[in-house]
Structure 1
């Protein structure tokens, strides 16, 4: 069994682990934890009432956090011609066509998000086995395959996030850093929760959100109060 740090154990004793809290109170508790030596990311951890083995019940969505993610995101854009120039103007870190397909196929992965113009999909389809498992493969469903590459790049740079349920019906959404104010974390968390609720598959029956907690990278999870599908945030 993995041994917990003294800081983790101390933080665990600072609140009632068996209780469910409203979102505002949970964030206040988290902000009161003894911090790590780095600026931890903060995330929501959901257990969903979906059948994870059914493709029509998988959850996938996007949203833009009002106060950003606290992380500098490196964006790779596959585009040519005018779209390439638009991507560069929008702030993409890497923009190109076949030369970047070749670099990625050879193992280069110095980026956090990928956007593609539709005309590039035939070329980058061969990268599916590399980008797919990392959640980086562009797709029309999340708006990362688009003719408006500049718009999507600006959204990603300003706090746009993607989320996707896993094979165990879990879903994890990072929504900020420990250094964020309580107010900014609360705003971001509400935006993330709203996006997850709005992404409920039509095939999902019964309670959609079974459990949800909030935690930072090295903190214990704080359970949030839930009522059926709705997270009660006070």
Structure 2
């Protein structure tokens, strides 16, 4: 893959073999972000687990203290009194069967988060093939299947992110925008790292945090020293 001049210049300031402390890594990430838009900063964590085994899955959700910098469109699938509660909390779309039909029939996907009440899961299950591959399927572990829809909507709007392993045992998560600056990004990074460490499966043996890289949308990856997180 051929990279542009700005990317090549940015890579010259990053030592590929060095493990940087989080604050140093984020300062580098911010300084090497040269795009004309406010780039997203992502964290990529490789874990010493095997995602093929059910007892080594790592998945959960966490509210980043400084949010993600992205406005989130929320769809809540619910009925009865929960409808008004979800609307009052700021959900863009609230309903039940009509939205399920819209997703199934029209391929409608104009939302970033799906929240559902437990009584809706029989209906929501029909959307598994559509929402699952996109990481949008509601789940109790992520707090997106809940009777307390108002709280779930508020958290989603405040910058709650879901983390999960991909097939190569890596977690990819946004931790904010370049415009946040290193300090706020570090607070978000620490919150996510602590959540992932806390979610370490009992079946995991050996080194848990294999590697950690932070990068902006168009910038080079910077390796982060994970020693302070203790696993």
**The TM-score by the shorter chain falls in which range?**
over 0.9
2:18 match = 19
1:230 match = 230
Deviation larger for 24-33 or 86-95? 24-33
Matched, 1:172 2:172: yes
Q: What value does the CA root-mean-square deviation take over the aligned residues?
A: 1.3
- CA-CA distance at 1:176 after TM superposition: 0.1
Q: Secondary structure at the match of 1:72?
A: coil
Normalising by structure 2, report the TM-score.
0.96
1:38 match = 37
Q: Does structure 2 retain, via aligned residues, the 8 Å contact 1:73–1:113?
A: yes
Q: Using the alignment, how far apart are the partners of 1:48 and 1:228 within structure 2?
A: 16
Contiguous gaps of at least 5 residues in structure 1: none
Normalising by structure 1, report the TM-score.
0.95
Matched, 1:212 2:212: yes
Contiguous gaps of at least 5 residues in structure 2: none
Q: Secondary structure at the match of 1:176?
A: strand
Task: Map 1:56-67 onto structure 2 (within 5 A).
Answer: 56-67=55-66
User: What stretches of structure 1 move > 2 A for 4+ residues in a row?
Assistant: 226-231
Q: Does structure 2 retain, via aligned residues, the 8 Å contact 1:197–1:229?
A: yes
- CA-CA distance at 1:230 after TM superposition: 2.9
Q: Using the alignment, how far apart are the partners of 1:172 and 1:73 within structure 2?
A: 18
Matched, 1:91 2:90: yes
- CA-CA distance at 1:228 after TM superposition: 8.9
Q: Using the alignment, how far apart are the partners of 1:228 and 1:59 within structure 2?
A: 20
2:71 match = 72
Q: Using the alignment, how far apart are the partners of 1:177 and 1:152 within structure 2?
A: 23
Q: Secondary structure at the match of 2:174?
A: strand
Q: Does structure 2 retain, via aligned residues, the 8 Å contact 1:209–1:228?
A: no
Q: Using the alignment, how far apart are the partners of 1:229 and 1:91 within structure 2?
A: 35
